[in-house]
Amino acid sequence: MQHFFAVLIDFWTQFHMPILRWSDFIEILIIAFLVYHMLNWAKNTRAWALLRGVAVIAAFVIIAAFFNMTTILWIIQNVTGLAVMAIVIVLQPELRAAIEELGQQNFLSSLFRIEKKTPEGRFSDNTIGEIIRACTMMARVRTGALIVIEQTSSLQEEVRTGITIDAAVSSQLLINIFEKNTPLHDGAVIIRGNRIVAATCYLPISDSRMDKTLGTRHRAGVGISEKGDSLTLIVSEENGSISIAYRGMLYRNVDEEIMRKWLTELQNKLEEEEEAAAEGGQEPLFRWSGFFRKGLTGAKNEDKTEDPE
């Protein structure tokens, strides 16, 4: 017992707490932020299963080191370099998607939502009404539809794959486009502002885990939402349900009220109080709602009927 206390006292005398500077706290926060988002990203990709496998291997390595199993340690030492290269090759699509997503993020604007609002917003109230009316009517007769609404991330690459329309948004035109056996019904419609930019556009298919009952239309809607900040309205041809895809999340079985809330949030319109302040020469500098808004990446297939907030 005396020997134990002697060792403990010796350890305590040699132990010292390093002096922490303010930059050390910032460094800890940055590392914690990166690790959290890496794990959050990996959770819904093939990397998650790979990480669990790596954890099992790491446990065996610790056991081998504890019992001094020299042969196993020699094999691991010589294979580690090749294993890292193999992981990069296997996860190349996921790593590319993660880097693209990182490049699309604007960290300052997510904290301080510096946006120039207008009384009308990105699109008018009439456009919201026409889109909701078209989706509701197509859902009643089970006409499949895929409508992508552009925000700040450009969809010009997808627009080039379709046929240029450049027409004002109207429910009659949208219903006509998606009517079965018509030349333009196959593919997606892209809306920019108050205009239908193009139809029959091809969208990237999501590789995320999704309900097997969902078809290509839903996978395409989630796929385009993973690339940027666009919002996609999906009308199912099988059961007439309406879904919303946003930031890689799929919200199923939404009704007219929820659609209106989502589109109003997307509209980014000046509220009455803000409009009055703007007329008086005062304009809000920061908009904090973006900081609390949902982030991406999470589960890619959520059976939700939530509001945008």
Write the DSSP string, 203-271.
Answer: -PPP-S---TT--HHHHHHHHHHHHSS-EEEEE-TTT--EEEEETTEEE-S--HHHHHHHHHHHHTBPP
Q: What is the pLDDT along the chain (309 residues), one digit of tens a residue?
A: 566 666 666 666 666 666 778 888 898 999 998 888 777 777 766 667 777 788 888 888 888 888 888 888 888 888 888 888 887 887 777 677 667 666 655 554 444 444 455 555 788 899 999 999 999 999 999 999 999 999 888 888 889 899 999 999 999 999 999 998 888 888 999 999 899 999 999 998 888 778 888 888 999 999 998 888 899 999 999 899 999 999 888 999 999 999 999 999 888 765 544 444 444 444 333 333 333 333 333 334 444 434 444
Answer left, alpha or beta for residue 198, where phi above 0 means left and psi between -120 and 50 means alpha. beta
- pTM assigned to the model: 0.59
Nearest to 268 by CA among 246, 248, 290: 290
Domain 125-270 adopts which CATH fold?
YojJ-like (1 (3.40.1700)
C-beta atoms surrounding 235 within 10 Å:
25
H or E segment to which residue 201 belongs = strand 195-201
Q: Where are the domains of the chain?
A: 24-101, 125-270
Torsion over CA: 309, 147, 254, 206 (sign): negative
